[in-house]
Chain A
Amino acid sequence: MNFFSKRKEGGLFVNELFYFLLSLTVVSIVLEIIFPRIILAYLNINYLIIATTVTGLYLLIKE
């Protein structure tokens, strides 16, 4: 039971993390389209996309 609840807590965290990363990716892409290079100059969006994909896949497998 304890193990189940911890897994559920972790799942909620990953769920929120996924939403956060996905929103951040979308915001970054939109900002990059409006103001070219402003994000890419400071941050490689690829890392963000990879993190979003990993958390997304984790949630998908867990479901």
Chain B
Amino acid sequence: MKEKVLKKIKNIPAIRLFWLSLIVIFIIVFLTLKVVPGGKIVYRYNYARKFHFGQGFIYNFTPQDRVIIQSGRLPKIIGDPLYFSVFTPRSFSQAKLKLYYRRNLDENTPIIEAGVLADGVVWRYDLKPIENRLIDNLRSSWQVLSQEPLVMQQNNYYQNSESFFSDLKTGKLEGCQTGKVLDCLAVYNYSPDLKADFSFSKSDKPLELNIPLRGAHTLFIYPENNALSFIVTVTDLNLDKNEDPVKLILSQQGKIIAQSDLIDENSVPSGQEEVKTLSLEHGVKAGKLYKLEIKISDDVVIKEIKSSTNRLVFANKLWPVSWGKDLNIYTDSNYLQLKALGPASLQDFIFNKQSFSLSQPYEKQEFLLQQENNEAVNEINLVRDDVIIESGGIFSFTKDTFFNPLVKKVDSYYQLKPSNKYIMADYKAPQIYHGDILVNEVEFNLQGVYREDSKYNFAISVPGIEKNEANYVEIEKIEIEFSGRTLWQKLFNL
């Protein structure tokens, strides 16, 4: 028996070799998971499972007051938007997000979207559709001309999508009574290549805009001259320690054609204001539509804009500050989302001759015009500034130069009008996964998106979910497939 024990002791090196090789395998496996040599990996979190071996790659939902977390139950979204971040051991160029969910939403909450934080400076999420019940409902009564992109027509105007697209290029669609494509087309997650054609009562003149605007703003420009000069004077408030670069980006049909940058050296002490000027001059084609982005953080105020053309309008958001006078703003939108940045900004205001009250500071309040309103341009009269004004539409400080280059969006504020004959969308309806659980997949381009602490930031948006207490979306599973360069492509720079 003693011999047997001795034999066992002699076997120790073999046992040790065995577990040492296990540890080497362990290290190799985890290094492989870190490097992802194949360039493709799926991270998932199943909220229906009670036990998890590790913390996972998908972090908890924030802010906590927009989600109900109860043990043994699926997380319930009750607020909009809801954020979560995903840890990745390396960077990737593409992500496919698969959302498994159950929803209990009223008819005023028809949209669920998911997005990735594309720009960390202006905090912009690139949102993609998970579900749009307005389109899903219309799909049964309208005719579908094409699936990718989705083209739907109210009546039998076209027999095939080719003739529709060729007419769209010329700007004349069948059944369009006003003759303008913008009047009879609505889009969702799709940007059609449309011919811009706007007419104005007065001639094009240089513009000096002295109303201070805080944070990033996007403008549409429709110059009538062949040269564009744009000078912006900004004040860096230096309220936070972060760098505040200023960027002017001129683009046409999604392609950047000119850019001007101003780096912030952060040399001025905190709290001390800094005035800077940035200009952009570029040759343009008269009668063409351009997009100009003023990319700044909320720590920077646009003090003055000097433009060679007054054919400019602001898109989606306007944040006037420190003006001290009444403000007259024009918009095409029939709803507004206003946020007062302090009690001093609370006020009663007029929106298209109707009186509304902005009564809650620091909260986004929604104001909707009565349905019989059919005016193309609505006037907003504010008596106090430091209010963030948002909508899916256009804003302008003058009525004469107002133009609307945006195609109507099939969003939660969309009202189907008889003039609307066509809908174009880059959208696929969700599928039933099991029971009442639905699943849909959206794809994001991660090149150049914001990534901090090895994390990508995502959002789930259900606009208007908080308006009805019975509304909720339960998340069963989140699955994200990341793909990027393989190890060989990285090593050999392929």
Nearest CB of chain B from residue A58's CB, rounded to whole Å: 17
Q: Per a CB cutoff under 8 Å, which of B15, B20, B30 touches A39?
A: B30
Q: Does B158 contact A (CB under 8 A)?
A: no
Residues 30-70 of B, flagged 1 when their CB comes within 8 A of A and 0 if not, give 10011000000000000000000111110000000000000
Q: A36-B454, A44-B53 are in contact. Are A2 and B1 (CB under 8 A)?
A: yes
B4 within 8 A of A: yes
Q: Choose one: B16, B26, B54; the contact of A44 (CB below 8 Å).
A: B54
**Known pairs A12-B9, A38-B30, A42-B54; A20 contacts B89 (CB<8 A):** no
Are A5 and B1 in contact (CB-based, < 8 A)? yes
Q: How many residues in B have their beta carbons less than 8 Å from beta carbons of A?
A: 26
Confirm or deny: B19 has a beta carbon within 8 angstroms of a beta carbon on chain A: yes
A-B contact count (CB 8 A): 63
Please name the residue on chain B nearest to A4 by beta carbon: B1
Q: Is the CB of B53 within 8 A of A8?
A: no
> Does the CB pair A35–B26 fall under 8 Å?
no
The reply to whether the CB of B124 lies closer than 8 angstroms to some CB of chain A is no
CA distance A31 to B56 in the complex (A): 16
What sequence of 0s and 1s flags, for each residue 78-91 of chain B, a beta carbon within 8 Å of any chain A beta carbon? 00000000010100
Residues of A within 8 A of B1 (CB): 1-2, 5
Q: Who on chain A is nearest to B453 by CB?
A: A36
> Which chain A residues lie closer than 8 Å to B16 at the CB level?
16, 19
Within 8 A of B (CB), among A1-30: 1-2, 5, 8-9, 12, 16, 19-20, 23-24, 27
Tell whether B416 is near chain A: CB-to-CB under 8 Å: no
The smallest C-beta distance from A1 to any residue of chain B, in angstroms, reads 6
Docked CA distance A27–B25 (Å):
12
A19 / chain B contacts, CB cutoff of 8 Å: 16, 19
User: Per a CB cutoff under 8 Å, which of A5, A24, A37 touches B5?
Assistant: A5
Pairwise interchain contact B54-A43, C-beta atoms closer than 8 A = yes
* Nearest-Cβ distance from residue B33 to partner chain A, whole angstroms: 7
Residues of B within 8 A of A60 (CB): none
- In the docked arrangement, what's the CA distance between A40 and B19, Å? 21
| A20 to B, closest residue via Cβ | B19
Does A43 contact B33, Cβ atoms closer than 8 Å? no
- A61 within 8 A of partner (CB): no
- Most chain-A Cβ atoms within 10 A of its Cβ — which of B2, B12, B16, B55? B55
A5-B1, A38-B34, A41-B54 given; A20·B12 CB < 8 A = no
Q: How far is the CA of A43 from the CA of B54 in the complex (A)?
A: 4
What chain A residues lie within 8 Å of B53 (beta carbons)?
A: 42-44
Interface residues of B in 366-413 (CB under 8 A from A): none
Alpha-carbon gap, A5 to B5, bound state (A): 7
Contact of A20 among B4, B9, B22, B57 (CB under 8 A): B22
A19 to B16, CA, bound (A): 9
Task: Give the shortest distance, in Å, between B43 (CB) and chain A (any CB).
Answer: 8
Q: Given the complex, which residues of B lie within 8 Å of A23, measured CB to CB?
A: 19-20, 23
B27 interfacial by beta-carbon distance below 8 Å: yes
Residues of B within 8 A of A (CB): 1-2, 4-5, 8-9, 12, 15-16, 19-20, 22-23, 26-27, 30, 33-34, 53-57, 87, 89, 454
In the complex, given contacts A9-B8, A35-B34, what are 16 additional A-B residue pairs having Cβ atoms less than 8 angstroms apart? Answer: A2-B1, A12-B12, A16-B19, A20-B23, A23-B20, A23-B23, A24-B23, A27-B23, A31-B27, A35-B30, A36-B454, A37-B87, A40-B55, A43-B53, A44-B54, A44-B55
7 A-B pairs closest in CB distance: A20-B19, A42-B54, A43-B54, A5-B1, A16-B15, A38-B34, A40-B55
Q: List 30 A-B contacts (CB under 8 A).
A: A1-B1, A5-B1, A5-B2, A8-B5, A8-B8, A9-B8, A12-B8, A16-B12, A16-B15, A16-B16, A16-B19, A23-B19, A23-B23, A24-B23, A24-B26, A27-B23, A27-B26, A27-B27, A35-B30, A37-B57, A37-B89, A38-B30, A38-B34, A38-B89, A39-B30, A39-B54, A40-B54, A42-B30, A42-B33, A43-B54
